[in-house]
Structure 1
Amino acid sequence: MPENSMTDDRPLYGRDPDAWQAYLAEGNAKQARKRVGADVLIRNEQGHVLLVNPRYKPDWDLPGGMAEANEPPHLAAEREVREELGIGLTVGRLLVVDWVAPHGPWDDSLMFIFDGGTITDAQASALRLADGELLGYQFLSLEDSRAVLRPYVWQRLRNAVANTDSDSCRYIVNGR
Structure 2
Amino acid sequence: MSDHRGPVHVATLSPGVAHVTWGSEAVTEGWADAVATVRAGVEEALATHARVEARVRADDALGQRVATWSGMRREGVLRGLPLPEGPVDHVLYARLATDAPTDQPEGFRALLNSFLPRKRAIGQMLVRDAAGRVLLCQLTYKRDWDLPGGVVEVNESPQVATSREVLEELALDIPAGRLLLTDWLPPWSGWDDAVTLVFDGGVHDADALVSRVVRQEKEIRGLAFCTPAEVAERCADFTARRVGAALANVAGDGPAYTESGR
TM-score (norm 1): 0.86
Once the two structures are TM-superposed, the CA of residue 148 in structure 1 deviates from its matched residue by 0.7
Is the counterpart of residue 133 in structure 1 residue 219 in structure 2?
yes
Unaligned runs of 5+ residues in structure 2 are: 1-100
SS of the counterpart of 2:181?
strand
User: 1:75-132 CA deviation, whole Å, 9 max, x = no partner?
Assistant: 1110010011111011110000011111111111110000000112322321221353
Which one-letter code corresponds to 1:48 in the other structure?
R
Partners of 2:254 and 2:108 in 1: how far apart? 36
1:78 aligned to which of 163, 166, 189:
163
Which one-letter code corresponds to 1:94 in the other structure?
L
Partners of 1:149 and 1:26 in 2: how far apart? 41
User: 1:28-87 CA deviation, whole Å, 9 max, x = no partner?
Assistant: 000111110000000123221000011111211000010111111111110010011111
Which one-letter code corresponds to 1:105 in the other structure?
G
User: 1:144-170 CA deviation, whole Å, 9 max, x = no partner?
Assistant: 110111111110000000100117861
For 2:118, the equivalent position in structure 1 comes to 33
1:158 aligned to which of 227, 244, 252:
244
For 1:43, the equivalent position in structure 2 comes to 128
The percentage of counterpart residues that share the same residue type is 37
Greater than 6 Å deviation, 4+ residue runs: none
Unaligned runs of 5+ residues in structure 1 are: 1-15
Partners of 1:70 and 1:175 in 2: how far apart? 26
Report if aligned partners of 1:39, 1:62 keep a CA contact under 8 Å in 2. yes
Report if aligned partners of 1:67, 1:76 keep a CA contact under 8 Å in 2. yes
Once the two structures are TM-superposed, the CA of residue 22 in structure 1 deviates from its matched residue by 1.3
Partners of 2:249 and 2:171 in 1: how far apart? 27
For 1:106, the equivalent position in structure 2 comes to 191
For 1:20, the equivalent position in structure 2 comes to 105
Decide which structure has the larger Cα Rg and report it: 2
Equivalent residue pairs, number:
161
Partners of 1:83 and 1:69 in 2: how far apart? 17
Q: CA RMSD in A?
A: 1.8
For 1:60, the equivalent position in structure 2 comes to 145
For 2:210, the equivalent position in structure 1 comes to 124
Residue 71 to residue 167, structure 1, CA distance change in 2 (3 Å): farther
Report if aligned partners of 2:183, 2:197 keep a CA contact under 8 Å in 1. yes
For 1:92, the equivalent position in structure 2 comes to 177
